[in-house]
Amino acid sequence: MRTIRIGSGAGYSGDRIEPAIELAEKGGIQYLVFECLGERTVALAQQARMKNPQNGFDPLLEERMRAVLPLCAAKGIKIVTNMGAANPAAAARKTAEIARSLGLSSLKVAAVVGDDVLEPCKERDLPIMEFDGTIKQLGNRLLSANAYLGAEPMAEALNAGADVVITGRASDPALFLAPMLHAFGWAMDDWNLLGQGTVAGHLLECAGQITGGYFADPPYKDVPDLARLGFPIGEIGEDGSLVITKVEGSGGAVTAQTCKEQLLYEVHDPRRYIQPDVTADFSKVTVEEIGKDRVRVSGGCGSPRPSTLKVSVGYVDSFIGEGQISYAGPGALARGRLALEIVRERLKLTGVAASELRFDLIGVDSLHGSQVSARAGEPYEVRVRVTGRTENLREAVRIGNEVETLYTNGPAGGGGAFKSARDVVAVASVLLPRELARPQVQFVEGESR
C-alpha cells in the first residue's frame, strides 16, 4: 500500500521556524504544510494590500521560504501553505523570486486564487450569522470577504506539477487533504476517506499542539524538552490509515493523550465537523499508541459536503482603549480595587463615550471573572487593567490616560503604567452558495520556467 508522510511546519503565522527545517532535513517527508492564516489575518492583510498592491501576504513568507526552499528542492519535498493571505498571486511571485535568488530557478510555484468573494457576497447582500445585519449594512466598515476553499484547487496545482502551492483562505485541514488527493486520487464523494483525511489534517494543522505543545501541566502532564519541540508528521496510507509521529530525537511527545486533546480542539458537534469538502464525523475515532511517539488514529468517517461555503467577513468593528498599572506588597489588592473605582468614576466625570467597559485585576479576576476566582487567596501583587470599546480613536486614548494619571493622582505605590489604543478589525461569517466561488490555479510565468 502506498503511504505518504506530511510534515506540519507551522501552526500559526508567528510560529517557530527551526522545527520546519528539522522536518525537511530529517523527517523523511514528501510534503511540508504551513498553516499561517488566523481568523482575521486575511482582513488585516487586505488592508495592507490596499496600501500596496504587491503586499497583503504573510510577513514571514520570505524568512520561512528562505529557510526551507533549498532543503525541500534538494529532497523533492512539495510545500503547501496559506501564506498567500489576501494576495496569493503576489506571494507566489515573491516565492519564485526567492527561489531564483537561491539558484532554484526550476522550482514551479503556483497560486490558488478565488477565495476573495467580496463581490458575490455584496451582490446577494448575505445575512451575517453572528448578529442581526447584512453585508451591505456594514457599509464602508466592510474590508474583506474570503471563502474557506476546499482541497481540490490545491490538489489540482500539485497534479499540474507545482512544487510550491500558495493559497489564501482555505480550510486548514484542506491544506493537508490536498496532498492526499494528489497522491491517492481519492474520489471527491468518498465521504469516509475524506472524513478520515480531515481527521489527519485537523490533528496536524496546529503543528506543535499535537507533539506536546499547549499540553504540559506538571506534575500531571510532563513533556520533555519543550524548547526544542518537534513538529508532527502524519503517515497516511492510501486506505486512509493514519499514524501521527515526529522527528526522532526532537523535543516533545506524541501520545494518545496529546492526540485526543487535539482531536477535540475547536470542535463542536464531533459528528458534524463541517468542511468545504466533507462533513467529517470524529465520533467513532480511536487512538492507539503503537510505539514511542507513534499513535495510530482510526475511525474518521463522513457524510456529504454542505452546499454552501463559509465566508469570513472582515470589518472595522470599533476601537479599544486600554490602561494598566501595578500595585504590590501588603494591601496591594485593596489599592488595586481603589484604583479601579477611581478610574470608573473618572470615566463618568470626564464623559468618555464607551459602549462597553471592563475593570480587571490581573492576578485576581481578569481571566475568569469575580465569581469563579472568589475562592483564591490574596496575591502579593496585582495589576489593574481597564479596557473599553469606543467609536473612535480619540475616545479610546482617553481610557488609557485615565489609568496613567493614577501615577500622581491615585493610590500609593502604583508602578509600570502602560496604555494603548487601537482599531479593531473583527470577523463575522456568511454562507455563500458554493458555485459562486470560482477558485483558479495560476502558475508563476516567466523566468521561473
Binding interface with another protein (CB under 8 A):
39-40, 130, 214-215, 217, 220-221, 257, 260-270, 282-287, 299, 317-318, 320, 356-358, 360, 362, 366-372, 385, 387-389, 424-427, 429
Single-letter code of the amino acid located at 391: E
Sheet of 301-303, strands arranged across: 273-274, 279-281, 301-303
Nearest-angstrom CA–CA distance, 204 and 299: 16
Give the three cell numbers for residue 340: 479601579
Q: Are 29 and 6 in contact (CB under 8 A)?
A: yes
Nearer to another protein, 368 or 394 (CB): 368
Nearest-CA neighbor of 89 among 437, 436, 443, 447? 443
Shortest separation between residue 228's beta carbon and another protein, angstroms:
22
Shortest separation between residue 389's beta carbon and another protein, angstroms:
6
Shortest separation between residue 202's beta carbon and another protein, angstroms:
11
Shortest separation between residue 427's beta carbon and another protein, angstroms:
5
Nearer to another protein, 187 or 376 (CB): 376
Shortest separation between residue 174's beta carbon and another protein, angstroms:
17
Number of helices (H), then strands (E), belonging to the chain: the values are: 13, 18
How many CA atoms, within 13 angstroms, populate the side-chain half-sphere of residue 180? 32
Q: Where are the beta strands (DSSP E) in 271-368?
A: 273-274, 279-281, 286-291, 294-298, 301-303, 308-328, 354-362
Q: What is the DSSP letter of 217?
A: B
In sequence order, what are the beta bridge partners of 442?
111
Shortest separation between residue 385's beta carbon and another protein, angstroms:
7
Helix (H) or strand (E) holding 166: strand 164-167
Shortest separation between residue 361's beta carbon and another protein, angstroms:
11
In sequence order, what are the beta bridge partners of 428?
313
Nearer to another protein, 29 or 263 (CB): 263
Q: What is the DSSP letter of 228?
A: G
